Amino acid sequence: MGARALGLPAVHRAAGLPRRVTIWEVGARDGLQNEPESVPAAVKIEFLDRLASAGLGVLEATSFVHPKWVPQLADAADVLAGLDRRPGVRYPVLVPNQRGLERALEAGVRDVAIFASATEAFAARNLNSTLDAQFGMFEPVVTRALREGLAVRGYLSMCFGDPWEGPVAPRTVAETGRRLLDLGCWQLSLGDTIGVATAGHVDAVLDAFDAGGVGVDRLAVHFHDTYGQALTNTVAALRRGLSTVDSSAGGLGGCPYAESATGNLATEDLVWLLDGLGIEHGVDLGALAATSAWMAGQLGRPSPSRVVRALTG
């Protein structure tokens, strides 16, 4: 598939938006972990290299989770060993426990993330823990990572709804998230794991964090597009001044522990939105769309991103 002549949206900047947004690209980790078949390490390495060439400055490379639980990422060490890490580009990895952190340190990783739950049900299914006990699991991981000079990001899943518990109270999300920040996470990514959030719900969650003394400068958002609301929810967050948005090239991904979760917000769709709002991001949309079209070819199916299809179809 060759890239079409690239059209760009007209720019109409709205008041109160951030001047620049950091795109936290999760396609190589959160995207590929949900594939039915494992993608070869060489393809993952090329994918990450192409994404870096497109101008993305944060590329979540992989996860050191046990291969029994996520076999698609069993080659994490091989991917990192073969990766040409570019100056100025961050390559964070997910570490579920102390063993995962050890493997990350052996691989020379400088950025790690932990993955927590805002609900009892998901903590039980994903972490084999309880909502309260999970912090005891994370504390030694974060402490060791900080002692080694690593930056630690926190992911909080099920922030807007849980398939087993239903709606999640914004105050509960804020209280749980604050505990991750207090452990030493420099940033907290709020996950709409099953894609049920709406714009008003986003405001309610951010209000709860604000009431608890946590500003948007410590927060990021991670939306899934199950009901087609990911971009709308992103705009709601941007209007509150939030300036880090997680997304996945080509809209790859989901959640292997929540069957109702469909793909992540597509990075190309996000970039098109940001371009139209006049918000800086540093990404070459044409190169990015071509990369996602290439990856769609590797996976043997069309990209779910509408922008990718519009530009490369």
180, 255, 271, 279: the active-site residue? 255
Separation of CA 150 from chain center: 19
Long-range contacts of the stretch 43-46 (C-beta < 8 A, 24+) = 43/295, 43/298, 44/75, 44/79, 45/79, 45/82, 45/83
Q: Is position 185 annotated as part of the catalytic site? A: no
Please give the structure tokens belonging to residue 28: 């190589």
Strands of the 219-223 sheet, one edge to the other: 58-59, 22-25, 244-247, 219-223, 187-192, 151-157, 111-117, 93-94, 62-63
What's the 3-state SS for the chain?
Answer: CCCCCCCCCCCCCCCCCCCECEEEECHHHHHHHHCCCCCCHHHHHHHHHHHHHCCCCEECCEECCCCCCCHHHCCHHHHHHHCCCCCCCECCEECCCHHHHHHHHHCCCCEEEEEEECCHHHHHHHHCCCCCCHHHHHHHHHHHHHHCCCEEEEEEECCCCECCCECCCHHHHHHHHHHHHHHCCCEEEEEECCCCCCHHHHHHHHHHHHHCCCCHHHEEEEEECCCCCHHHHHHHHHHCCCCEEEEEHHHCCCCCCCCCCCCECEHHHHHHHHHHCCCECCCCHHHHHHHHHHHHHHHCCCCCCHHHHHHHC
Catalytic center residues = 255
